[in-house]
Structure 1
Amino acid sequence: MKDATLTPDAAQFAAKPVDDVLIAGGGYVGLSLAVAVKAAAPHLSVRVVDGAPEGAWKRDGRASALAAAATRMLDVLGVWREILPEAEPIKRMVITDSKTGDPVRPVFLTFEGDGADGSPFAHMVQNVTLVGALRARAEALGIAIIPSAVAESFCTGPHQVELALADGSLLPARLLVACDGVRSRLRQSAGINTVVFDYGQSGIVTTVEHERPHEGTAHEHFLPAGPFATLPLRGNRSSLVWTERTEDANRLIESDDLIFEDQLERRFGRRLGALKVVGPRRAFPLGLTLARAFVAPRFALAGDAAHGIHPISGQGLNLGFKDVAALAETIVEADRLGLDIGSLSVLERYQTWRRFDTFRMGVTTDVLNRLFSNDMTPVRALRDFGLGLVDRMPKLKNFFISQAAGEADSTAPRLLGGRPI
């Protein structure tokens, strides 16, 4: 089954019960989509296929920044109240630009303020907390999570699609959604091409403890190799997203604790006292990946399967939640109108809704990374002048805060505005 457009015998499909929505990928995008559809349309059959090793999500030491719009969606889905006790609000964002060895890091731009409803513009949440709450909610709604890897292909018929699992079994559905990551096998099987650019950078992710409290302040230092971000977690802890050239990142990951912590302290500084690495350190290659199409007959992409962007803006997870809100609303409204939820005419509404915004964010992060991962003196002078200019313009700063909170889009799906579908 190498061709995603094969037309299987109708009797082959008819012999099996058919799900309405089958989601490949048990991360936060796949789970939140399943919950969003099932909560709004309980009569629809929704299942999730999770190919990750059993319990792998419990070992994920990463944390993510949730924009205010995303937290409103999670509240409507009935999971935010479970997450909130472990979430840390970001009250302030400080941006500096310097070389690694500079004794002083001048502050060029500071963001502070709340979202439109008075809540923080973002929260930091451990991935294990987020995924755990979504899994519990999915199970409470009766959504089955199938622990099986997905094969490399699927078959599409006139009325349904059939997904092959690694164990040889076949699952038919009216709509298949791929949430299987930036290297999506199902996207390749569907014949959807991508625009790909490798930055030659990797993001080092870990968690540190520090002596003094962070007071809800996030810092982003623009260093020659790329941004170094420290993001507040519960207690005297911070999550790091540390960009380096890939060969340097690999050396740091493989180095002993003394060397790693010495290089970390040179970038983190001593503003919060002594540091101690308390989480696993991992490096992830950074690049830009944009799918040329988000849909095909009875097939849709969401999350990293549709787009992978640089973490410089902290919007990767929030782009995925925008996909979820738009696709869930598309599916549920089509079902209420008696339309075929897997038809291309229905799915194209989702594609129109999301593709331009995704392309715009991809281009923005690409430009920002090229601008700030650069040590040329004229470029540094220009960007520092620009940061200082923004810092002196309250209306422009408020606009950027609303963008970070996910509140600037008047066409946003209902869930992102805190309204049920």
Structure 2
Amino acid sequence: MNNDVIIVGGGPVGLCLARALSGHGMRITVIEQQATDALAAPAFDGREIALTQKSVRLLRDLDVWERIDADARSPMRAAKIFNGMSMHALEIGAGNARSGNHAELGWLVANHVIRRAAFESVQASIATHRDITLMAGETVSAVTANAESARVTLASGATLTAALVIAADSRFSPTRRMMGIAADLHDFGKTMLVCRMTHDQPHREAAWEWFGYGQTLALLPMNAHAESGAHQSSVVLTLSAHAMEAVAAMSETAFNAHLEQRFAGRLGAMQLASTRHCYPLVSVYANRFMATRFATVGDAAVGMHPVTAHGFNFGLASIETLCESVTHARRAGGDIGAAAVLRSYELRHQRATRPLFLATRFVTEIYTNGTLPARLAREVMLRAASRLAPFRNAVAASLMG
């Protein structure tokens, strides 16, 4: 066989997976449709990733965290949940997790910064171990597998074989579909607009999740704006696709005034500090995380609604769990693509992700329902939760990973 492992997808999860497998005596190939230049210097895409403390530990182990500049890491020390126009919020802090080791719930880092750091880590591992081949600018046209090996055919006509193929190519994974794995895909019928904005009032390093009437707002606290020193946050606005078209098309001046109004002036004057980016709001849960000599990781396995900020954290968790199963089999002299190895990964990752995935679906359905009974019920729920220390502790522990 040409390889031991083929990873389809060179995003942050695919690159981190390659780095995690490197140094264990395996030949690894990463196939990515983007060109090498785009991997080495990815463009800002608006997305800020909330990392749990567990995820930060994993990124340290993968030699990724230290490659991220300190000024590109923004601490998140609290999280607030608002309902409607009420000023009352359910507030969660690191202290609720009863952890004396961290003052922060987690950290916020831009997606493109993580991608660049992961690419640099892979390049360093290539130089040290010479066990990773990065095939950029290539597209997979077919994947097949049998008891002996898996075969990947590229659009260029080249064919590669391996003991194991892993899909890390997004929640809409073509590779997963090629292997006949269906997924529970839920389209919320909404579009999410993300951008950075400066504002007059401080965020006090607290993230907001604001379930309004007819809209959902999120505020992710960033470090101060580099040039002006102004308070800065990543702003997330979720609306129907039709309504978002008009907002996205606004001039910068009109957009600033519009967002100030949507935030009810709570942040004072707001100014756009980046480009704007829109994404459809879709969650995905694969029916299976494995097939013959095949596994899914990251969003190809579980594509979360962003309300709980666990998407990339689950991606890193899938890397940790799969690598444990694969490297254990390798050390024991076994077959890394054996069904028992992959089934062990599947069961563990399902147990780790399914409860929160379903809970997130429930929360988003309740908190985006605009009927009067739902509005009253969620206000009662938030106020009750504010008084329940065990609940707040559990939420904080989840946010910290």
TM score, norm. by length of structure 2: 0.91
Structure-2 residue corresponding to 1:67: 52
Deviation at 1:197, TM superposition (A): 2.0
Structure-1 residue corresponding to 2:129: none
Deviation at 1:50, TM superposition (A): 1.4
**SS, match of residue 221 in structure 1:** strand
* Residue 383 (1) aligns with residue 378 (2): yes
Render the CA deviation track for 1:281-331: whole Å, top value 9, x for unaligned.
Answer: 121111232111110111111111112221111111111111111111111
Tell me the distance in 2 between the aligned counterparts of 1:92 and 1:359: 25
Structure-2 residue corresponding to 1:48: 30
Structure-2 residue corresponding to 1:38: 22
* Residue 401 (1) aligns with residue 387 (2): no
Code of the residue aligned with 1:339 in structure 2: it is: G
Tell me the distance in 2 between the aligned counterparts of 1:357 and 1:251: 39
Percent identity over paired residues = 28
Tell me the distance in 1 between the aligned counterparts of 2:201 and 2:186: 40
* Residue 88 (1) aligns with residue 77 (2): no
Tell me the distance in 2 between the aligned counterparts of 1:94 and 1:396: 14
Tell me the distance in 1 between the aligned counterparts of 2:29 and 2:221: 35
Structure-2 residue corresponding to 1:324: 319
Tell me the distance in 2 between the aligned counterparts of 1:28 and 1:166: 23
Structure-1 residue corresponding to 2:90: 109
Structure-2 residue corresponding to 1:118: 101
Render the CA deviation track for 1:244-287: whole Å, top value 9, x for unaligned.
Answer: 11111222222332332222111234344321112221211112
Render the CA deviation track for 1:5-28: whole Å, top value 9, x for unaligned.
Answer: xxxxxxxx5xxxx21111111111
Deviation at 1:96, TM superposition (A): 1.1
Tell me the distance in 2 between the aligned counterparts of 1:51 and 1:282: 21
Contact 1:148–1:165 under 8 Å retained in 2: no
Tell me the distance in 2 between the aligned counterparts of 1:151 and 1:36: 23
**Distance change in 2, residues 1:371/1:332 (3 Å):** same
* Residue 209 (1) aligns with residue 195 (2): no
Structure-1 residue corresponding to 2:228: none
* Residue 21 (1) aligns with residue 5 (2): yes
Q: C-alpha root-mean-square deviation of aligned residues, in Å?
A: 1.8
**SS, match of residue 243 in structure 1:** strand
Contact 1:224–1:372 under 8 Å retained in 2: no
Deviation at 1:358, TM superposition (A): 2.7
Code of the residue aligned with 1:75 in structure 2: it is: R
TM score, norm. by length of structure 1: 0.86
**Distance change in 2, residues 1:150/1:226 (3 Å):** same
Deviation at 1:77, TM superposition (A): 1.6
**Distance change in 2, residues 1:117/1:339 (3 Å):** farther
Tell me the distance in 2 between the aligned counterparts of 1:84 and 1:384: 40
Contact 2:36–2:137 under 8 Å retained in 1: no
Deviation at 1:165, TM superposition (A): 1.7
Render the CA deviation track for 1:363-383: whole Å, top value 9, x for unaligned.
Answer: 111111111112222211111
Tell me the distance in 2 between the aligned counterparts of 1:249 and 1:263: 12
Code of the residue aligned with 1:211 in structure 2: it is: D
1:294-309 matches, within 5 Å, as 294-309=289-304
Deviation at 1:180, TM superposition (A): 0.5
Structure-2 residue corresponding to 1:267: 262
> How many residue pairs align between the two structures?
383
Render the CA deviation track for 1:109-146: whole Å, top value 9, x for unaligned.
Answer: 11112563522221000112211111111111113321
In terms of mean alpha carbon deviation, does 126-135 or 150-159 score higher?
A: 150-159
* Residue 219 (1) aligns with residue 189 (2): no
Contact 1:108–1:384 under 8 Å retained in 2: no
